[in-house]
Amino acid sequence: MNKWIKWLLLLFQIGGGAFGLALVAKQLLSTEQTGISLILHIVFTLVFLFGIAAGVALVKKPNLGLLMSLVYQGIQIPIIISPVVAYRMFSGATFFVYGGQTGFGAYLFFGGHYLFWLNGSEPWLVGINFIALALFIFLFRERMFEEAPIEVDEPDLSTLGERPAYRIC
């Protein structure tokens, strides 16, 4: 794996995960929580902890870290906001392009963020986090390369030096 991409992944996953945990802690301490919101904060705490674990595993156990990082980047790709459900999550950085009822746009942000709600009143918006998508594609290609090594047929050296027998009739 390219060392610069690996460092970027470590920064986004470990640093962004720690930033996300701080956001969850701030949210938990600043407002009174209902049962469902408390469950959602716990879920996102586990998600950010998973991102930190993916970064650590990338250093300690590269194959496992590659798979965990693939999953962690994959869950950051979609952005969906609608009157029924809303989901947006990123760790480290995001550059997402979106379109919806209010128009089109792009957004660049560093740090971390999470959002999930049901039965909101927001207009439709759909987007893609292109940083997570690029890292996902890179990790997917790395994983495919790791799992499918190139096999080269070895020549049979036992017949080396033997001359074929010719028969003249």
User: Cα(38)–Cα(112) distance, rounded to whole angstroms?
Assistant: 19
Which residues of the chain form beta strands (DSSP E)?
78-81, 85-100, 103-118, 125-129
Does 98 have pLDDT greater than 80?
A: yes
Asked if the structure places residue 126 within a domain, the reply is yes
Asked if the structure places residue 114 within a domain, the reply is yes
Domain limits at 115? 3-148
Does 141 have pLDDT greater than 80?
A: yes
Give the CA distances from residue 140 to residues 12, 37, 51, in Å, rounded to whole numbers and listed in that order. Answer: 17, 33, 17
Asked if the structure places residue 107 within a domain, the reply is yes
What is the total count of domains within the chain? 1
Asked if the structure places residue 53 within a domain, the reply is yes
Express as a percent the part of the chain with pLDDT over 70. 86
pLDDT score, position 154: 60
The arithmetic mean of pLDDT across residues 75-93, rounded, is 92
Express as a percent the part of the chain with pLDDT over 90. 52
pLDDT score, position 165: 54
Asked if the structure places residue 76 within a domain, the reply is yes
Give the CA distances from residue 88 to residues 18, 62, 97, in Å, rounded to whole numbers and listed in that order. Answer: 17, 28, 12
Asked if the structure places residue 129 within a domain, the reply is yes
Higher per-residue pLDDT: 159 or 112: 112
Average pLDDT, the chain: 85
Asked if the structure places residue 16 within a domain, the reply is yes
pLDDT score, position 50: 96
The arithmetic mean of pLDDT across residues 89-104, rounded, is 92
Asked if the structure places residue 155 within a domain, the reply is no
Q: What is the pLDDT of residues 18-63, one digit of tens each?
A: 999 999 999 888 878 788 888 898 999 999 999 999 999 999 998 8
Q: Are strands 78-81 and 125-129 parallel, antiparallel or unpaired?
A: antiparallel
